[in-house]
Amino acid sequence: MYCLEAGHVYKLSNAVEPSRMQAVKFIKRVNGQLVADGTTNEEVLGMLIDRIKYLNTKLPCRENALVITKLEESLMWLEKRTALRVAQGVETLDGAHKS
């Protein structure tokens, strides 16, 4: 992993050709305004949960089950954080932060 922009843009090594990098970009807000499009932590966790569940159907093990549980727990805490921020009026359901 190589960080191009802290918290927002990363390059990940390709498993077959490590020198061939793949970019992952996250949304970026400045003063509550979207300035760069991208994905969210919640979407990445959802993808990882789906992938590990799939892999666990191919070769089930306790470790995969634990990883799934911890990823689901992480997703739950991020969703709880968003719900609290919405309730406090500092964030909207679309993820926008109020100034």
Question: Is residue 16 a contact partner of residue 30, using CB atoms and an 8 Å limit?
Answer: no
Amino acid at 73: E
Domain ranges of the chain: 1-39, 40-92
pLDDT in single tens digits along all 99 residues of the chain: 999 999 999 999 999 999 999 999 999 988 878 899 999 999 999 999 999 999 999 999 999 999 999 999 999 999 999 999 999 988 877 766 665
Q: How many Cβ atoms are within 10 Å of 10's Cβ, its own excluded?
A: 17
Starting at the edge strand found earlier in the chain, the sheet holding 21-25 runs 2-5, 9-13, 21-25
pLDDT of residue 10: 98
User: Rounded to an integer, what distance in angstroms lies between the CA atom of residue 46 and that of residue 81?
Assistant: 16
pLDDT of residue 31: 83
Task: Pick the closest to residue 42 from 98, 89, 82 (CA basis).
Answer: 82
pLDDT of residue 95: 63
pLDDT of residue 91: 82
pLDDT of residue 52: 98
Residue 23: beta bridge partners?
11
